[in-house]
A and B are shown apart, each in its own frame.
Chain A
Amino acid sequence: MSDIFPKWTNQLPLKIAVGLALTGTLAVGGVWYYFTPKYTRVGYQPIQPVPFSHAAHAEQMGIDCRYCHSAVDRAWYSNVPSSSTCMNCHSQVLATDPRLELVRQSAKTGQPIPWVQIHKVPDFVYFNHAVHVNRGVSCFSCHGRIDQAVEVRHEKPLSMTFCLDCHRNPAPNLRPPEQVFNLGWTNDAALQNAAGQKFVHDWKILSLQSCSTCHR
């Protein structure tokens, strides 16, 4: 009989049990990690070297997004302003505030301010800011009410599904061009649907879902 079950089979049940346990743990761990918003960095809010408040600048003082992010409607990249842009006002306003020491230093010495990057798509994704904001997609669609943020936070997942949801059905996210940088603008749901459909038709907005739209 010893031929039927060789000796090594003695440990087989144990091995199977350990294997199953490992697999189970990995599956739970995988779901725990990958299926949470944290994986897509929603809520990521690092401490920035200068405590810049969008709320104070954009919401309270009503400075247009494009005053600082000047290339957003021209280039794929929405630039972080240079220190000299800050100093346009801060050479007069809060000129001695200790919180702005780094900005003053940077403008003086030419050393850049090391801002921590929050929003990032993978390198093989070629996202273009300009084409979105020029065609009626507001900053709000991806960045939320960033104009009210005291500290910038990763608001939306910016995952492939997130992009595709809108690319499949662009109408809900299309605004009249003059409201693109007005993040507080809202429209009645029914009206928005009709207006969005009209924009899609009039502006020849295509539901671009090919790989080549974003990947090159």
Chain B
Amino acid sequence: MKTIPPRCPEPEGGRQYWRSLDQLAETAEFQEWVAREFPAGASECSDPVTRRKFMKLMSASFIFAGLGLSGCRRPEETIYPFSRLPENYTHGQAVYYATARPIRNQVIPLLVKSHEGRPTKVEGNPQHPDGQGATDAHTQASLLNLYDPDRAQRFTQRGNEVSRPVALDLLAKLGKDQAAGGRGLSLLLDQDGSPSRERLLEALRKKFPEARLYEYEPVDFNIRRTSATTAFGQPVEPVYRFEQARVIVSLDADFLGTEAGSWKSIRGFAKGRSADQPQAGMSRLYMVEALLSLTGANADHRLRLPASLIAALATRLAAVVMGGVESADARSFAASLNARINKADLEKIGVAAGQDAPGWIERWVDGCAQDLLANRGRSLVCAGYRQPAAVHALAHWLNALLGNVGQTVDYRQAKAGHDGTIAELAQALQRGEVDTLVIVGGNPAYNAPADLEWEKSQRRAKTVIRLGYYEDETFASCDWHFPAAHYLESWGDGRSPDGSLVAMQPLIEPLFGGMTALEFLARLGGFEKTSAYEIVRETFQALSPGGNFEEAWKKYLHDGYRPGSLNQAAAPVVPDWKAGEGILTALQPVAPPSSQKLEVVFHLDYSVDDGRYNNNGWLQEMPDPITKITWDNAVLISRKTAAELKVKNHEEVEVTVGSRRVRGPVWIQPGLADYTLGLALGYGRRRTGRVGNQTGFDCYPLRSSAALHCATGAAVKATGGRGELVCTQDHWSMEGRPIIREATLKQYAEQPDFVKRLNLEVPPGGQPLYPNPLDKAREKALHQWGMVIDLNSCVGCNACVLACQSENNVPIVGKEQVGKGREMHWLRIDRYYTADPLLAQDRKTTRPEREQAAEHWIDNAQVIQQPMMCQHCESAPCESVCPVNATVHDEEGLNVMAYNRCVGTRYCSNNCPFKVRRFNFFDYNKRPFQNHQLYLGPLAKKPQDELELVKLAKNPDVSVRMRGVMEKCTYCVQRIEQAKIAQKIQAGASGNVEVADGAIRTACEQACPAQAIVFGNVADPNSRVARLKKNQRSYSVLEFLNTKPRTTYLARIRNPNPALPDYYEVPLSTREFEAGNGTHEPGGHAGSEPAQDHSHPKGSH
């Protein structure tokens, strides 16, 4: 009885308000998914241990347990107090330290919580001006990497363990032996913005003038700097201020997702989109992209266009804008740009974008350009890392010509990079010029461009020494391997996106004796000071002149950064028109891709980045914010392309670029440009830990130095195989009610009560079906907790999901279990697609999938994201069905779970309209989840090393739940109770026990870079949450059920431009709701009045 995970059903055809193509199709399988409490297989005991065998096993174990009577007496436990108490240490009191997470050449300033000396939760540093407490999903999950049992834990020589002194001797000897100025010594470094490392490298260069330094990152955001340097003729790099911009044009820049510093961009972007301050204005985002990214999902106008054609579109955009500014140079350059792109070329772009109406694309681009011109000094153009330097240069010039510099974008002086590239290193290796290769970080054997044949090249060096975090692909071809320390174990420093100096201090001794890169380099150079602490102090001393050093140092560590330490001043920039010739040459017209010559776009994965988080279980299980696929990557493909290539979801295909090929399963994705394949980097690792093992497929073999981000001329062929993808998007569906509400800015101004117009009719009587027995107790309580989530700010970045997982000890369950709908996330983000009902012909009848796939409207869907967790209904349906009173209300309005009472009937989950309850089908914390070991019966245990390490990451303030227990969002009850206790301790013998507003921040609220989540006391009319609940955009999900949720939402506002051909007067979801409500549910639920004329978008086809 092998258990086969149920597949997400295949689409057929049908309706317009849908969460997935399958729901759109209303297939029988989908209907079943929706109708069932848990997906098929989730609640059946269908494992190889039959019920009979299980009874035998269990009765036997009860007998043994009874004989031993081991469980009857409490075991004797020992208290080991310190023999000498560390200063300022209080057992049981969490301590916070300011530190930072390095990522490429930036750091994210953090405040990390430590319980009894072990870091347990990562939070943003609220004092730092850049993020003000913002973090991202990777930062939240980076904690788990610290406790990864598969980390490199030993010093090795050719795979055999050596002692630390032996390894350190080698390093010291290496430095001494470089008498000839370091000839034959090469260093390959990953990116790091640490001033200390920079200083050490400078010293190394001086000491070994013949040694060569190279830098490599598989995805390099330095193109922003290099292109700005070309465009302005001086070494500068842009720092964006999205909060200032009123019009943003993004050319393939996923600044809310995968681009560098997204956590900061999200905060800025969300601030700039406030719909409630009309005087400040709300920003408008235009997005041009090939794949559907988070930024695209949040755009007001989105154009899907093959990546190689974005340059041509940018040419036209730049030509129109430059033609409209005063500068004569710009006008003449505009003329030469115009010569690059004629009307026919433009029409071709329109066709490639799926818009074949004549003049459509011209109106789109020109409308966009006019909007930019109308908002000079308040607009922003940015280009993504995948785009060529010429597109970046155009964006930089546009910003300069539009007067945006100093307003929405700053150009800061930057140091020009002077290290070699990995291609140069590969050549040097091939020529035999490298005796000793030292690799610091990175994983080139996995992610170097395929044409370099890196592993072979690496072996050409006589000795290869590496400092690495994992014993990975690169480890295999190293002679010596040193374990690297995690950032929470390291002294260090770095620069945040705004350029201020940020401190990195350790919270724990290296668990496995790992070394920091600073110590490694200092020992290699044979420098006097080798401790990272001293190196960092020295750097700080050099960078902070004058004053009392010790005091400044203490303040630096306490605050986590040095205010006013921007060493890169903003520079005045003017376009360097001399570069124009080069740019024009680069902007050659290219042929659009076709079904024979497809285009492959490689993108950073939202979960595993470039592969560095491949072994992180939290990130692997985090559903991709757009595809909602977990544990895998896929060949993303548009519906039209899939139909032409005759491939379906889960079918394995072979993608060929030139002579290189990879195989992976297909996933059909709305919103993709046609004839474009999206391949996520970072999966299919050949050598990784037990979590990342056998996840996804590796697409690095398709990447060559010439086409790092976008390869053309690809072919796809079905192999006949299957690769099961596990996707959470159909789980816990809400069946197309007006769950998410939105309006356009214009509509909001005309009808501020638009939210109420979308209300469904409340059943007669008006009384809640499930009364709350504690309604009376509420009057005595001081606090009534509630939450507001602003959908207008939320971009769907998943930071909250992982913050919740980290704070609340939520386990991961593995791919197979997710496939059965057993994922445990307390907080999920629902992603809905909507499309215009009027564009679909004949939407009641079910048509074959292939036929429907040819309709283009399906691909121009609007995307909405909604964080969904326990709504803490005042009249909670879950409570009245619990036979053991395990889920009850407390007097402050929390719907609480008493885990020890729960017997696992799952009635509560069945009765929950929001499908937010999670059941522990197995003891996920103790069981190994990989390779189907879950089913080894009650004896299957996690390996001891894994168990002990994973324990360290747990939050001691939250119970770890076991098998058979229901769980769900608690509003972070531990934080509430801690705040209340702290207030009571402070109050002492007085009645001042009311918790101040803002003293409690739930984990999701704290992590949210968009500040979309606000939690507080709704009984206090002056609290932030109470004020937000009075906002006109406030509504509760499924209000007609009368469950009175404490979590309410603020409707989303879109800001489309009437001049554009894809303008919409009301958001498509509203249109769909109005259309659907009339036809789907005749006679009922007609509470909403028709809000708007159903005007057809102008000229859509």
Contact = CB atoms under 8 A, between A and B. Distances in A.
Contacts of A211: 888, 890, 896-898
- Of listed B79, B80, B900, B993, residue having the most chain A CB within 10 A: B79
A56 interface: no
B79 A213 contact: no
Contact of A128 (B900, B976, B981): B981
Nearest to A107: B83
Contacts of B984: 131, 134-135
B83 A80 contact: no
A114 B77 CA distance: 9
B84 A82 contact: yes
Given A85-B85, A134-B988, A213-B977, A71 B92 contact: yes
A130 interface: yes
Interface string A77-117: 10111111100000000000000000000110111111111
B780 interface: yes
Interface in A157-216: 176-177, 199, 202-204, 206, 210-213, 215-216
Nearest to B981: A131
B84 A130 contact: no
Interface string A60-77: 000000000001011111
Contacts of A128: 981
A71 B84 contact: no
B238 to A, nearest CB: 46
Interface stretch (A3-11, A119-127, A142-150): A119-127
A5 B892 CA distance: 63
B80 A114 contact: yes
B959 A215 contact: yes
Contact of A216 (B82, B91, B891, B970): B970
Contact of B91 (A71, A114, A199): A71
B83 A106 contact: yes
Nearest to B894: A212
A24 interface: no
Contacts of A57: none
B93 A215 contact: no
Contacts of A124: 899-900, 959
Contacts of A123: 959
Interface in B895-918: 896-900
Given A83-B81, A211-B890, A204 B991 contact: yes
A114 B888 contact: no
Contacts of B74: 41, 120
A109 B83 contact: yes
A199 B989 CA distance: 8
Nearest to B78: A114
B76 A116 contact: yes
Contacts of B1032: none
B169 interface: no
B85 A117 contact: no
B780 A206 contact: yes
Contact of A126 (B83, B900, B957): B957
A84 B85 contact: yes
B805 to A, nearest CB: 16
Nearest to A68: B81
Interface residues of B, number: 47
A116 B77 CA distance: 6
B569 interface: no
B973 A112 contact: no
Nearest to A74: B90
Contacts of A109: 83
Nearest to B72: A33
Contacts of B970: 212, 216
A79 B86 CA distance: 13
- Of listed A41, A82, A136, residue having the most chain B CB within 10 A: A82
A23 B572 CA distance: 90
B819 to A, nearest CB: 31
B79 A131 contact: no
Given A75-B92, A130-B985, A210-B891, A216 B974 contact: yes
Contacts of B85: 82, 84-85
B989 A203 contact: yes
B782 interface: yes
B1091 interface: no
Nearest to B983: A131
Contact of B782 (A204, A210, A213): A204
A46 interface: yes
Contacts of A73: 985
Given A46-B76, A112-B83, A216 B959 contact: yes
Nearest to A108: B83
B57 interface: no
Contacts of A84: 82-85
Given A123-B959, A202-B991, A212 B977 contact: yes
B990 interface: yes
Interface string B950-968: 0000000111000000000
B987 interface: yes
Contacts of B891: 210
B993 A204 contact: yes
Given A212-B890, A215-B959, A77 B91 contact: yes
Contact of B79 (A117, A135, A204): A117
B899 A215 contact: yes
Contact of B82 (A74, A112, A136): A112
B81 A79 contact: yes
A213 B777 CA distance: 15
Contacts of B892: 210, 212
Contacts of A111: 83
Contacts of A134: 984-985, 988
A215 B898 contact: yes
Contacts of B976: 212
Interface in B852-874: none
A74 B780 CA distance: 27
B781 interface: yes
B93 A74 contact: yes
A107 B988 CA distance: 35
Contacts of A113: 80-81, 83
Contacts of B780: 206
Nearest to A204: B991
Interface string B86-103: 000011110000000000
Interface in A22-65: 33, 41, 46
Contacts of B989: 135-136, 176-177, 199, 202-203
Q: What 6 A-B pairs have minimum CB-CB distances, sorted nearest first?
A: A210-B890, A77-B92, A112-B80, A75-B92, A204-B991, A83-B83
Given A110-B83, A215-B959, 12 more contacts: A71-B90, A74-B90, A74-B985, A76-B981, A111-B83, A112-B82, A128-B981, A135-B988, A177-B988, A210-B888, A212-B896, A216-B974
Interface of B: 72, 74, 76-85, 90-93, 780-782, 888-892, 894, 896-900, 957-959, 970, 973-974, 976-977, 981, 984-985, 987-991, 993
21 contacts: A74-B985, A79-B81, A79-B91, A79-B92, A82-B83, A84-B83, A84-B85, A113-B83, A117-B76, A117-B79, A123-B959, A131-B984, A131-B985, A134-B988, A135-B987, A135-B988, A136-B989, A203-B993, A206-B780, A212-B896, A216-B957
